[in-house]
Structure 1
Amino acid sequence: MSALSIHGVSKVFPGGTTAVDDFSLEVGDGELVCLLGPSGSGKSTVLRMVGGFESPSAGRITIDGEDVTRQSPDRRPTGMVFQSHALWSHMTVFNNIAFGLKLRRLSPAEIRDRVEGVLELVGLTGYGRRMTTQLSGGQQQRVALARSLALEPKILLLDEPFASLDQHLRERLRDEVRDIQLRLKITTLFVTHGQDEALSMADRIVVMRNGRTEQADRPDIVYRNPQTPFVAGFIGTMNFIEGVVEKGHFLHDQVSVPVPVADGPVTFAVRPEALQLAGAARPRGQARVHRVTDFGTHGLVDIQLEDGTRLKSMVNTPDHFHLGQEVDLKPRAFAVFRDGQQLYRTHLHG
C-alpha cells in the first residue's frame, strides 16, 4: 500500500510571496490525482515539495505514514518526471535509466534486468544503446518515465510531462502513461494546466487557485457540478450571463429563465452543449447568430445578445444556422452563482 498525505502545507518564498497556502490532500493507494490550475496557482510548488525539491514553510508530508517533510529527494520513495525530460545527453538510454540504480549500489545483473524491464514497459525495447539525442520528444519522455519507474517508487510525480509535445503525440502518450499507471497500480500525483489531460487521466481532480484548493472531486463531477464560477470557467467552456433574479426568474435583457433562488444579482452559467437554439418565436429573437463553425462531428454557433454578451452553443446541424439569424435560447441545464458560490443547478436532460 502506498498512500500520500499532505497536511496543511504552505510555501512562502523570500520576499513574502505565498505560493501555497494551507494546502491539504490525501492520495489513496493506486490513485491518480491531478493538480489542475492556471500558472501561479501553486500546483507545481506542491509537487516539488512532495518530491523534496522545495521545503515547506509549514505543514507536513507523509508517505505510508512516514514523515518525509525534511528528507532530501534521494531519500524519498518518490520518482519525478519533469516537463523538460532532464536527460543526460552524453549518456545512452541505458545509462540514463541505470544512473539512479547505480547510486543505490545494485548489482550489474539487477540493473540490467530492471532497465530492460522498464524499457519494455514504456515501449522502447532495444533502444538501450541509443543516445538520447537520437530520440524524438515522445521517446525522450518515455525514457524519463522509465528512469523514474526503474527506482520502483511508491509515489510517481508527473510535472506537466506532455507540455512540450505536439497535440497528437501528447494525446497518445497520456493514454500510454495512464495504461502503465493502472497496470502497475502506482500512486500518482500529476500536475497540468491542460484540462483535457486532467479529465482523461485523473481519478480525481484538484482545482487550485492562489495556492489553495478551489474544488476537489471526480472529473465528471468537477465538470458537471462546479462549485464556484472559477471552476466553472476553468474546466471546459462555459457561458456566463450576468443578471438578476426577480420573482423566481433570472432576467437579462430578453432572456428569462425560471430559477428558484432568492431575488438579487447572480451569474447564470450554461455550457455550450446544454444551450439549445431555436428559431425566434417573435420577429426579434433573444440573440443573433454571429458565427457558425463546422467541426465535422458537431458545430459551434457563436451568438450575441443585444447588450453584446457573447455565448456559444454546440449543435448537431450547423448548416441550419447562418450569420445574422435571430434565435431564442433554451438552456437544458445550467447553474446559478452568487458571491462566488453555487446557489442552484439543474441536470442535463433531453
Structure 2
Amino acid sequence: MAHLAIEGVSKSFGHTFAVSDFSLEVGDGELVCLLGPSGSGKSTLLRMIGGFERPTDGSIRIDARDVTTLPPERRPTGMVFQSHALWTHMDVFSNIAFGLKLRRLPKAEIRERVENALALVGLADYGKRAVTQLSGGQQQRVALARSLVLEPKILLLDEPFASLDQHLRERLREEVRDIQQRLGITTLFVTHGQDEALALADRIVVMRDGRTEQVAPPSVIYREPQTAFVAGFIGSMNFVESEIRDGICTHPLFSFSIPVADGPVMLAMRPEALTVRPASRSADAIVHRVTDFGMHKIVDIDLADGTRLKAMVAPGDMIRAGMTVAPSCSGFFAFRDNALIHQSAAAQAAAPMQPLYTA
C-alpha cells in the first residue's frame, strides 16, 4: 500500500492549462475516482502521476518520496490504458512477463508471478493464447495483469472499460474492485461515467476545466453537491431558474422558503423528489413523454416557460403523454453563481444514489 500526495500541480500546453493548481491526498489502499467530462484534465493528471507527462508546476510524492521528475519506469506505479496497449505479436504470457524480463528476474520467478497474475484476473489457462484471439474484456484483464505483476504501489486506470459494452463494463468493474480490495492497492481510476464512479470509489473527485469542483464519498457527492455543476453531473437533475424575494422563491410551481438574500436563484430537484398529479389547469405543465424502465417510469414534463422537467413515478402510475399535470417537490437545492446557498432537509435525507437512468 502507498500514500499519494499531489500538491499544487498544473500542466499547460502553450497558453492553455489542462490542469490548474490541483491538490489531492490519497490514502493507503484507497480507491479514488477522477470524474468529469471530456477535457476536464482527468487523464492528463493521471499521466502526470504515472510519469508520462511532466507537471508545469507543483509536486507529486509517493510515500513522501518526490517522483515529480522521474520517468515512468522508475516510479512505483502501474498504468492500465483505455486502448489496452498490448503487443499483438506476443502471446498473453509474454505480454505480462515483459516488464519482469526487463528487470532481469529469474525465469522461475517470472513464471510464478505471471501465473499468479493470470489467476488473479481469471485467466489462469490463457498464457499461450494470442492476444488477437481474446475478447475485449479478456484483453483488458491481460492489461490489468501486466500492471499488477510488477507489484506497483499505486495502480492507475485510465477509462479502462470505455470501449466495452455496458454489461461487460459492469462485470469488469466489480472484478477490479474485488481485486483492488483483496490486494489493498492504492488506486486512481479515471472515468466520465457517473455509474462507474459511484459503484467503485471510496471518494470521488469531480473535475471541471482542470480544477476540483468537489471531493467526497459517493453518497455525499450525490446528496450534498456543493456546486450546480456537480449537482447536474452526478445523477439526473432538474434545474429551474427563479428569483428570491423576501426569503420566498417566486416560481409559480415551486414557492419555497429560502432564507438567503434576495436575487436570482437556480433551483435543482432530483426526479425522485418530484411528485406528479393530474391537474385541470392548462397553465401548470404538460406531459411530453413517459419512458418505462421496468422498476420505475420517467415522466418528461414541459412547463409554460419552455423548461423541461423529469419526474420518477411508480411503474403502475397512470400518467400519460399529453396530460396536464401539477408537479410538486419534496426536496431541493438552491444555487447562485454555481455555489450552493441552501439545501432543504428532504433533499439530503431522501435522495438515493440509484437508479442512474439516462432518459
**How would you bin the TM-score normalised by the shorter chain?**
over 0.9
Alignment check: 8 A CA contact 1:300 1:318 kept: no
State which of 334, 337, 348 in structure 1 corresponds to 2:335.
337
Q: Which residue of 1 aligns with 2:295?
A: 297
Matched residue type, 1:221: V
Give the aligned length. Answer: 348
Matched residue type, 1:301: V
Secondary structure of the corresponding residue to residue 221 of structure 2: helix
Alignment check: 8 A CA contact 2:254 2:328 kept: no
Alignment check: 8 A CA contact 2:222 2:234 kept: yes
Offset, 1:259: 2.3
Structure 2 Cα separation of the partners of residues 328 and 248 of structure 1: 23
Offset, 1:36: 0.5
Q: Which runs of 5+ in 2 are unaligned?
A: 351-359
Alignment check: 8 A CA contact 1:238 1:270 kept: yes
Structure 1 Cα separation of the partners of residues 18 and 291 of structure 2: 40
Structure 1 Cα separation of the partners of residues 22 and 249 of structure 2: 36
Offset, 1:58: 0.6
Q: Which residue of 2 aligns with 1:283?
A: 281
Q: Which residue of 2 aligns with 1:231?
A: 230
1:4 and 2:11 matched? no
Alignment check: 8 A CA contact 1:285 1:328 kept: no
Q: Which residue of 1 aligns with 2:23?
A: 24
CA 1:318–1:347 in structure 2 vs 1: closer, same or farther (change >3 Å)? Answer: farther
Secondary structure of the corresponding residue to residue 142 of structure 2: helix
Matched residue type, 2:214: Q
Structure 2 Cα separation of the partners of residues 149 and 304 of structure 1: 51
Offset, 1:152: 0.2
Q: Which residue of 2 aligns with 1:326?
A: 324
Structure 2 Cα separation of the partners of residues 259 and 23 of structure 1: 33
Q: Which residue of 2 aligns with 1:188?
A: 187
Moved more, 82-91 or 327-336: 327-336
Alignment check: 8 A CA contact 2:253 2:328 kept: no
Alignment check: 8 A CA contact 1:285 1:327 kept: no
Offset, 1:33: 0.3
Secondary structure of the corresponding residue to residue 29 of structure 2: coil
Give a deviation string over 1:32-86, Cα, whole Å, max 9, x none.
0010111111110000000000000010000000000010100000000000000
Structure 1 Cα separation of the partners of residues 304 and 55 of structure 2: 51
Alignment check: 8 A CA contact 1:228 1:340 kept: yes
Give a deviation string over 1:71-123, Cα, whole Å, max 9, x none.
01000000000000000000010000000000111110110010000100000
Structure 1 Cα separation of the partners of residues 246 and 11 of structure 2: 47
Alignment check: 8 A CA contact 1:299 1:314 kept: yes
Offset, 1:264: 1.1
CA 1:6–1:288 in structure 2 vs 1: closer, same or farther (change >3 Å)? Answer: same
Q: Which residue of 2 aligns with 1:37?
A: 36
Structure 1 Cα separation of the partners of residues 21 and 164 of structure 2: 33
Secondary structure of the corresponding residue to residue 258 of structure 1: coil
Matched residue type, 1:267: M
Structure 1 Cα separation of the partners of residues 78 and 285 of structure 2: 53
Q: Percent identity?
A: 68
Q: Superposition RMSD on alpha carbons, in Å?
A: 1.3
Alignment check: 8 A CA contact 1:253 1:306 kept: no
Offset, 1:224: 1.1
Give a deviation string over 1:254-283, Cα, whole Å, max 9, x none.
442232222211000001111111233x63
Structure 1 Cα separation of the partners of residues 262 and 119 of structure 2: 62
Structure 1 Cα separation of the partners of residues 140 and 273 of structure 2: 38
